[in-house]
Each structure stands twice: as structure tokens, then as C-alpha cells.
Amino acid sequence: MTPTSTPTAHDSRRDSKTDLLEAARAVVKDRNEKVAAARLQPAVRKRVSFLTLLSLAGLLLILVQPSWLAGPKATPAESPAIREASLRLSMLRERQRVTDFAKRTGRLPTSLAEAGSSAPGLGYEELAEQQFRLFGQAGDSLLVLRSTDSMAHFLGNSLREIKNRGRP
């Protein structure tokens, strides 16, 4: 008999020991995988819970839109002084457009629109000797700006009013 052809009792013990060792290793590996999975589950649950709470808080902020986040619901109404100051500045800008038009073409425009203006609520009137006047209403006041009026005199304290807007 050759040693390779017949199994001996010693070989069968070695095979059973090897099988037992492999089975034990498989059990230990399986148990370690289960423990690792059990450790990850609470962390995943915590993360999902945190993200859910964060999403709900964001949705609540979008729905409620508090003023500290979204700003005021409506802009406050301008005071009469601010409206008048704004109108004075607009009238000076439009006077400059008319003057520029007259320099380019050698004549006064027939309307503010011809001079390139789109300012609403302003009136324009051509006067004698290449002069004109602009007029507009701010509240109860009618403002008139002639082509010969001084800019500093017409503005008065308008720039200061606009600069101090919103301050008591």
C-alpha cells in the first residue's frame, strides 16, 4: 500500500480539525460582522434623525418667513420731505438731459421724451429765448425748475434729507 492511496486515522483527524477550525473562524467572522452592523445602526439612525429635524426646521422657516430672516413685509412709506427731495434730484437730471439735447441739436426738444426722458409725473414747457421749465408735484407742493435756476438754490437741503432718510 502506498501512503497516498489509503487514508490513515491520523489524516482523518487532521481533516476534522481543519474543518472545525474553519467552522470556528466562520462563526467568529459572522459574529464580528453582526457586531459591526449593530454598531452602525444607531449612528445611521442618529444621522437620519438629525437630517430630518434639520429639514423640518428649514421648512418651518420657509413657511413662517420671520422678519429677521426674510426682511420686512413692505417697505416703509417715504416721508413728504424725501419725496420732495427725490423729485428735486429727478428734475435736475431731466434739466441736464434737455440742456444736452439742445447742445447736440441746436434746438429745444418738443417734449421730455424727445430728450430721452422717461421720468413719470414731470411736465415740460418751452419758454422764449431757448429757455424752458420743468414742473412736478410732490404731495401738496408744486415744484418748478427753470433752465436758468441755480442748482444749489433749487436743491436746498434735499441731499441732506436723503442722506438722513430713516434716521430720527
pLDDT tens per residue, range 119-133? 888 999 999 888 999
- Residue 4 in domain: no
CB-based contact 136:85 (threshold 8 Å): no
Q: Between 60 and 3, whose confidence is greater? A: 60
Residue 115, domain extent? 80-163
Say if 3 falls within a structural domain: no
Same domain, 88 and 142: yes
In the numeric block, which cell numbers belong to residue 4? 497516498
Residue 90 — pLDDT band, cuts 50, 70, 90? very high
How many domains is the chain built from?
Answer: 2
pLDDT at 104: 94
Residues contacting 143, CB < 8 A, separation 6+:
84, 87, 88, 91, 135, 136, 137
67 vs 2, residue with greater confidence: 67
Query: What's residue 1's pLDDT?
Result: 45
Give residue-wise pLDDT tens across range 16-60: 888 888 888 898 888 888 877 776 677 777 888 899 999 999 999
- 84 with 126, same domain: the answer is yes
Instruction: Give the 3-state DSSP-derived string for 136-152, with helices as H, strands as E and coil as C.
Output: EEECCEEEEEECCCCHH
Element (H, E) at 45: helix 9-64
Asked whether residue 128 falls in the same domain as residue 149, the answer is yes
pLDDT (0 to 100) of residue 164: 79
pTM of the model: 0.55
